[in-house]
Amino acid sequence: MSNFLEMNKREKLIEAIVNKYEKMGENPDTYLEGLLQAKPINYWDYIEVDTLLSLQKPRTDFKDEVVFIGYHQVTELVLKLMIHELKQLVFDSLSEEEAIEKMGRLTRYTDMLITSFSVMSEGMSYEDYNTFRMTLAPASGFQSAQFRFLEIYCTPLKNLINEEGKKRLPKNPSIEDYFNHIYWRDAGFDRETGKMKKILELFEDKYLASFTALAKKLEGKTLCEQIRQKDYQNEQFIEKLREFDYAFNVKWPLTHLHTAKTYLDKKGENKAATGGSEWKKYLHPKHQQRCFFPWVWQEVSIIDWETRTVS
């Protein structure tokens, strides 16, 4: 009896496969023959382990440079996962329950970014880092394009302009105006002299057109705007928005700032960043003033949430 049931199950499975490809207008025999010849999948092939492990290419002989490279590659992979979730939130028709789940995922990914900073702050030699990092100029984590894409998916550009930037905006700003005054530009552009640092020049040459194109595609459709239009009243959902907003825009930059101080500001040495950015000013959330979902912070400032005061 058991053999009969197994054969019946197998026949139904083959029938389902045949129906799948016939509905696609394809010849199912072609795919079945291909399956017959295909090699078994291995973990190392599926995950591309050999390729991943070949991507750490230090410029010096200092052992901890591999740690530095690997950490930033992990960060970029996590940012990719976050953008993967954001695309679903923005472009797919999700239920409120599904949206709550996605927001929880975004916060968990951000928590990974925050806790993993200990790999940097406690996992590298101070002397070695401050030697090999000089070979990286003018490269900087500031130049992470995925970080900027994530921001653009989350919120309108006007929410990425700090108070000083808002004072400079024209009455009816264009997307180009917003990018001229966006908070992160302050790290590489001197508005008094009009001089741009190489770190920003190279970054904008490569990515600004892509940032602008995405911002135009998402006009009126960012995650912030779509959620606001749906007027969710679910307090659990509002709490998920607060958790992600606070984690990404306050906790993470503060962790980044404190880690940078470990290597650049030890014993009052006040070292410059490799890209020459004003890192103390740029990294602090009081300067960045990012807030993806402003309406959830009506009663308390995002910086002071959970009775925490940023120092």
Distant-in-sequence, close-in-space partners of 289: CB < 8 Å, separation ≥ 6: 162, 163, 183
pLDDT higher than threshold 80 for residue 308: no
pLDDT of residue 121 exceeding 70, the answer is yes
The CATH number, out of the four listed (1.10.357, 1.20.58, 1.10.340, 1.10.287), of the domain defined by the range 66-307: 1.20.58
pLDDT band of residue 20 (cuts 50, 70, 90) is very high
What is the number of other CB atoms lying within 10 angstroms of the CB of residue 57? 8
The answer to whether residue 306 scores a pLDDT higher than 70 is no
Listed as own residue / partner, the contacts of 213-222 with beta carbons closer than 8 Å and 24 or more positions apart are 214/149, 214/152, 214/153, 215/152, 215/157, 215/175, 215/178, 215/179, 216/175, 218/90, 218/152, 218/153, 219/175, 221/90, 222/90, 222/152, 222/153, 222/154, 222/155, 222/156
User: Which of 89-93, 126-130, 181-185 is predicted with the least confidence, judged by mean pLDDT?
Assistant: 126-130
Over residues 118-132, the mean pLDDT reads 88
- Quick: pLDDT tens for 226-285: 999 887 778 899 999 999 999 999 999 999 888 877 776 665 566 655 555 566 767 888
Domain ranges of the chain: 2-35, 66-307
Give the model's confidence band at 311: pLDDT under 50 very low, under 70 low, under 90 confident, else very high. Answer: very low
